[in-house]
Amino acid sequence: MALVDDIRSEPEFRLSEATPGDYFALLKPRVMSLVVFTAVVGVLAAPGSMNPFVAIIAIVAIAVGAGASGALNMWYDADIDAIMSRTSKRPVPLGRVLPGEALVFGLVLSVLSVMTLGVLVNWLAASLLAFTIFFYAVVYTMWLKRSTPQNIVIGGAAGAIPPVIGWAAATGTVSLESVIMFMIIFLWTPPHFWALALFKSGDYGRAGIPMMPNVKGELSTRRQIFAYTLVVAPVGVLPWALGYVSIGYGVAAALLGAGFLWHAWRVLAMSPDDKAMKPAKQMFFYSILYLFGIFAAYLLDILVWRAVALVGA
Amino acid sequence: MDSEDMVTMSVAQKRAQRSRSVAIGIALAVLVVMFYVATIIKFGPAILDRAF
């Protein structure tokens, strides 16, 4: 009997109709855009000059590495993604891409991105990227996500590393400035995701994911959102307080932090009977604006002062 | 091989396979150009400093 017949007789066998767009969706493009933006700030904020082409290679490698970890996440989480409304339209639960295809795609891109960053930029940045992929795919996705309500707190480290990788790509070091960028994203992650988890708790509950509202209750989650926001707002101002960016950034970070706190307060004060959870939804969208605003202000500050230094020279 | 041993692809499957092949081709070409240009940059002006 021909080999093809054997394969065809297997019930799972089918020819793929997946398009490049389906594979691109595996990379979690929206998450990737935030990774790219924060990594760009990491590269540009670093002292010294980096060849622009090498800088672009570094950013592309970081983006592809982040995308690869997204594909590995979608491979492993296909069962729970199919249950949740937010993720049910992803290519694997829809059947557009088979889990095995997503796994191979993620592994190939992981190796390619780390090797490219190592060979063409430097091995410290490549090691950090490899660690990030491992941390997101194995530590967060396979272990923490389904076992503890602290999943996104610890797992948030993976999303916070890109500016550190960018900085390491430009300088070959990890310094206090890049660690503070890491801290801003790391401390921002819990209020961002818990705001989402509050109004999507039914989804997470059905999928059996132990998010904070499902395990500790809504009141505890709202208190913790406020506590984390109380910490992240001053940490956002630290770059100015430590004197390596201007007062312009300091004012922007303080205003953005005040807005974040105001939203966190509204979530804390939300009535338990409020089923629409409008303050939580507003907090979630504001948190995206906050992170974008903080890093945009940081980037603008650096670019303005570099331009001023160039004109003065 | 008999024709019945072959897997017959539908139009949608053929179109998807072709678009995936094009995407892989473009990605490989980008990778080659990236490594080529980065190598030239890493050599710097020394790339011209050679005996003929």
Residues 6 or more apart whose CB falls under 8 angstroms from that of A34 comprise A159, A291, A292
Interface A–B counts its CB contacts (< 8 A) at 51
Nearest CA in chain A to B30: A57
Among B7, B19, B31, whose Cβ lies nearest the Cβ of A15?
Answer: B7
Inspect the interface and report whether the beta carbons of B41 and A18 lie closer than 8 Å: no
> Which residue type sits at B13?
Q
Judge whether residue A118 has pLDDT over 70. yes
* Torsion sign (Cα): A7, A12, A14, A16: negative
- Compute the 3-state secondary structure of chain B and give helix, strand, coil in percent, each to the nearest 5: 80, 0, 20
Which chain A residues have a beta carbon less than 8 Å from that of B5?
2, 4-5
Just give the CATH number of A17-174: 1.10.357.140
Percent of chain A with pLDDT over 90: 85
pLDDT band at A161 (very low <50, low <70, confident <90, very high): very high
Distance in Å, alpha carbon of A66 to nearest chain B alpha carbon: 17
> Which one, of A190, A155, A182, A153, lies nearest residue A284 by Cα?
A190
Q: Using a CB–CB cutoff of 8 Å, tell me whether B20 touches chain A.
A: yes
So what's the ipTM on this one? 0.83
pLDDT band at B49 (very low <50, low <70, confident <90, very high): confident
pLDDT tens sequence across A71-105: 999 999 999 999 998 899 999 999 999 999 999 99
CA separation for the pair A185, A138 (Å, rounded): 20
How confident is the model at residue B52, as a pLDDT?
61
